[in-house]
């Protein structure tokens, strides 16, 4: 069957830039899948998505004008319903066949086949393949309906009547034209009140012709680029911007580079149809303002790319991605420089005004800011964070260092005060960062300033931890206050909803305890945080502990550890999370030993025996031994268990488990030759006690039964 390539384009007004790439992928993806479902594509068909600020398009190869006919078997009804005792068709069967366009003569062609416990009648028919016009109409309607539109617009359609019509359309933006080309032929489909044709519009200002006429489906991107001055492909446009940014930075010289920001790059790609990168500059006096403020206002408000020197310091130059390419770009450059100047002046004004008040003078103001209706104000929250931070500091080796303890308290007290500054009021993303700058200005010292700046860290997966121990303590206290408070009032995450980012806070706690090597027990941390809330909450320690271990489990599996390895280690609820990585390494090394499988199975068996026995005392009376196998096992345990315990206490978990591997043969012999649940009660209890001693020793590092297949 002859096939041609297919091109569909929906030309609209400017699409929301942050959603453009997703809209383009969804539009082309649903179109392709719908055509494939209807049998209009070939096995080697491929789809290419196009998305620019004013268009969504898809190019699909090897599309048929007519789908092949398809044999379909349809179940009609049970035999007992469709045929009477004489084997003749019942009225119900004849009516069903009539609805399918078949007459009484089709009864003889019906097939009987088992259907569960009974037999049913099946009707074989040949369904005519869909035409491209019908199939594409259905696919196009489905693609439009399934677009992930952030916010729908409603607009009226143009009518031929003298009076305005009332017919309206709901879509992401008003649509102006529709292209549907199969090879060079227009496919007669409609959408959003538009009828398909073979022409579209190019660049608003730089298109050579209007409209841009497309000769065939395969000339789409080439014709738009040549006649319409538009790079239709999002990917190609993005790559062109990257190339131009690098070239412009190289032209500036001095080793400068445009700031690396994938989200900004995607957004700018969605704002221009043919990019043109220009170099602009602002007055050097603005560089006295913290560079985070300047960078944020340039990126967020103007979509500019700041230039950083080789040391990562902001320069007074920046790059603009323009949508026009005039012969003389001076007016464009000057316009962008004029626009950015008031933004930078505002940032400088906020910075100068904020430094007129110390952070300490703002503490009282936190009492007027509501944090949560059940948990009080930011002032109350600050008091809780201070109390929790003091409690954490008391658990550390630096507990007797008065300077350290005072730095922790100061940082915890002032950490949230920058929320009341003008700069953070204008740019909430700078909270913490500005607190660090203002702390330095107040003469609080670098340690305290870094702790205030870092107390939100880690803010996301892969983010760095606080730079000093004071910062780690305050960050831990801040996250624990949120977790304990929200769990304590029953405000838990559900499904994909987590408005207070409790999952992220839990992962932050896990990372700090694990990577900052804090020798602190998790349950002790949670327990010392609860009293800070008084009677505002109910005790959430059990649920919160389980939640944190669940986050830890997920994170470890993402790092490549197997579910069995993670379950084996976390089944013991290790309190010092800094130990978890060493335990996992030990478990992985143990699992590779030839004795591992048998010992894991034996450990699981021992666990089951002890579970059925109830409370078992880990005590052995050698005078009650009757079998050689139990004496032999006890003798080996007497030699190996102290050695394994010493290795465990020294933190050498791998050696501890490998020492226990020698127990395989005596353990196997014990279960082969010894009846644990002997009729004599003293023998039974003694053998259970022996197994209890062994079970405790085997499961210090991890629950080895989790490794049993």
pLDDT in tens, 101-125: 888 888 888 888 888 888 898 988 7
Q: What is the pLDDT of residue 519?
A: 85
Q: pLDDT above 90 covers what percent of the chain?
A: 73
- Contact between residue 570 and residue 549 where contact means Cβ atoms under 8 Å apart: yes
Q: Which residues pair with 170 in a beta bridge?
A: 154
- Tokens, residue 331: 């007016």
Three-state DSSP class for residue 592? coil
Q: Look-up: residue for tokens 């050097």?
A: 284
Torsion angle of the four alpha carbons 405, 407, 411, 413, in this order, in degrees rounded to the nearest 10: 60
β pairing state of 199-200 and 212-213: antiparallel
Measured between alpha carbons, how far is 378 from 234 in angstroms, rounded to an integer?
45
- At residue 166 the predicted structure's pLDDT band, cuts being 50, 70 and 90, is low
Residue 426: helix, strand or coil by DSSP? helix
Residue 257 has phi, psi (to 5 degrees) of -140, 145
* Model pLDDT for residues 424-477, shown as the tens digit of each residue: 999 999 999 999 999 999 999 999 999 999 999 999 888 999 999 999 999 999
Report the distance separating Cα 147 and Cα 155, nearest Å. Answer: 18
Residue that the structure tokens 């085997």 belong to: 698
| Type and span of the H or E element at 12 | strand 3-12
Numbers of helices and strands, H then E, in the chain: 25, 20
Q: Could you tell me if 58 and 49 are in contact, meaning their C-beta atoms sit under 8 angstroms apart?
A: yes
Mean pLDDT of the chain: 92
DSSP letters spanning 130-174: PBHHHHHHHHHHHHHHT---SS-EEEEPP-SSSSPP--EEEESS-
For 301-336, the pLDDT digits (tens) are 999 999 999 999 999 999 999 999 999 999 999 999
What pLDDT, in 10s, does the model give residues 487-520?
999 999 988 888 899 999 999 999 999 998 888 9
Among 62, 350, 306, CA closest to 182: 62
Taking a C-beta distance cutoff of 8 angstroms, is the pair 156, 165 a contact?
yes
Res 632 pLDDT > 80: yes
Q: What is the pLDDT of residues 63-88, one digit of tens each?
A: 999 988 887 788 888 888 888 888 88
Give mean pLDDT, residues 157-180: 76
Q: What gap in Å lies between CA 233 and CA 241, rounded to an integer? A: 12
pLDDT value for 70: 80
Specify whether the CB–CB gap between 473 and 408 falls below 8 A: yes
Question: What is the pLDDT at residue 101?
Answer: 80
Asked whether 300 and 269 are in contact (CB, 8 A), the reply is no
* Confidence label for 151 from pLDDT (cuts 50, 70 and 90): confident
Q: What is the pLDDT of residue 164?
A: 53
Question: Would you say residue 163 has pLDDT above 60?
Answer: no
The predicted-structure confidence for 264-302, as pLDDT tens digits, reads as follows 999 999 999 999 999 999 999 999 999 999 999 999 999
Confidence of residue 159 (pLDDT cuts 50, 70, 90): low
Query: Could you give the CA distance from residue 582 to residue 601 in angstroms, rounded to a whole number?
Result: 23
What domains, with CATH codes, occur in the chain? 3-67+131-227 (3.30.70), 70-127 (no CATH), 234-354 (no CATH), 363-560 (1.10.3210), 580-707 (1.10.730)
């Amino acid at each position: 069957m002859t096939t041609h390539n297919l091109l569909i384009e929906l030309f609209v007004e400017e699409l929301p830039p942050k959603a453009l790439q997703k809209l383009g992928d969804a539009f082309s993806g649903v179109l392709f899948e719908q055509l494939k479902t209807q049998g209009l594509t070939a096995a080697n068909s491929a789809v290419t998505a196009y998305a620019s600020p004013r268009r969504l398009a898809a190019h699909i190869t090897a599309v048929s004008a007519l789908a092949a006919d398809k044999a379909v078997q349809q179940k009609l009804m049970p035999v007992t319903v469709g045929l009477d005792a004489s084997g003749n068709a019942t009225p119900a069967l004849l009516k069903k066949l009539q609805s399918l366009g078949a007459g009484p003569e089709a009864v003889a062609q019906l097939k009987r086949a088992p259907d569960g416990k009974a037999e049913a009648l099946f009707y074989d028919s040949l369904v005519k393949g869909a035409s491209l016009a019908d199939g594409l109409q259905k696919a196009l309607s489905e693609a439009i309906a399934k677009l992930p539109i952030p916010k729908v617009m409603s607009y009226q359609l143009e009518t031929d009547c003298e009076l305005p019509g009332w017919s309206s359309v709901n879509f992401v933006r008003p649509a102006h034209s529709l292209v549907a080309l199969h090879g060079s032929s227009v496919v007669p489909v409609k959408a959003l009140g538009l009828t398909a044709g073979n022409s579209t519009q190019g660049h608003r200002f730089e298109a050579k012709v209007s409209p841009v006429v497309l000769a065939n489906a395969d000339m789409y991107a080439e014709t738009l680029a040549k006649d319409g001055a538009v790079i239709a492909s999002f990917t190609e446009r993005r790559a062109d911007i990257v190339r131009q940014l690098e070239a412009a930075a190289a032209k500036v010289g001095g080793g400068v580079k445009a700031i690396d920001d994938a989200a900004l790059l995607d957004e700018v790609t969605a704002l221009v149809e043919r990019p043109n990168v220009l170099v602009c500059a602002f007055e050097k006096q603005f560089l006295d303002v913290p560079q985070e403020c300047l960078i944020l206002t340039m990126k967020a408000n103007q979509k500019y790319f700041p230039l950083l020197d080789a040391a990562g310091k902001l320069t007074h130059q920046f790059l603009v991605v323009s949508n026009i390419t005039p012969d003389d770009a001076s007016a464009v450059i000057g316009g962008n420089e004029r626009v950015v100047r008031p933004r930078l002046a505002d940032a400088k004004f906020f910075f100068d005004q904020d430094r007129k008040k110390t952070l300490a003078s703002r503490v009282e103001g936190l009492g007027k800011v509501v944090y949560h209706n059940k948990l009080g104000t930011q002032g109350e929250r600050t008091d809780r964070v201070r109390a929790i931070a003091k409690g954490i500091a008391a658990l550390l080796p630096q507990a007797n260092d008065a300077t350290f303890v005072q730095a922790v308290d100061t940082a915890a007290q002032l950490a949230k005060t920058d929320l009341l500054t003008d700069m953070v009021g204008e740019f909430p993303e700078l909270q913490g960062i500005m607190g660090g700058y203002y702390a330095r200005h107040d003469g609080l010292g670098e340690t305290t300033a870094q702790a205030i700046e870092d107390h939100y860290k880690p803010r996301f997966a892969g983010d760095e931890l606080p730079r000093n121990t004071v910062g780690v303590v305050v960050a831990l206290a801040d996250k624990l206050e949120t977790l304990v408070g929200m769990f304590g009032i029953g405000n838990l995450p559900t499904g994909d909803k987590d408005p207070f980012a409790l999952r992220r806070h839990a992962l932050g706690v896990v990372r700090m305890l694990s990577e900052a090597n804090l020798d602190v027990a998790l349950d002790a941390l949670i327990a010392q945080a609860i009293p800070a809330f008084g009677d505002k909450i109910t005790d959430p320690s059990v649920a919160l502990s389980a939640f944190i271990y669940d986050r830890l489990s997920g994170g470890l599996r993402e790092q490549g550890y197997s579910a069995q390895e993670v379950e084996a280690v976390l089944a013991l609820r290790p309190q010092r999370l800094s130990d978890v990585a060493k335990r996992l390494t030990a478990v992985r090394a143990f699992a590779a030993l030839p004795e591992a499988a048998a010992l894991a199975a034996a450990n699981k068996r021992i666990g089951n025996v002890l579970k059925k026995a109830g409370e078992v005392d880990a005590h052995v009376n050698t005078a009650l031994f009757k079998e050689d196998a139990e004496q032999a096992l006890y003798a080996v345990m007497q030699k190996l268990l102290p050695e394994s315990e010493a290795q465990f206490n020294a933190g050498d978990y791998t050696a501890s488990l490998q020492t226990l591997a020698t127990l395989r043969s005596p353990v196997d012999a014990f279960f082969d030759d010894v009846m644990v649940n002997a009729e004599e009660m003293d023998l039974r209890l003694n053998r259970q006690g022996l197994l209890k001693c062994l079970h405790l020793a085997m499961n210090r590092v991890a629950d080895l039964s989790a490794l049993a297949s």
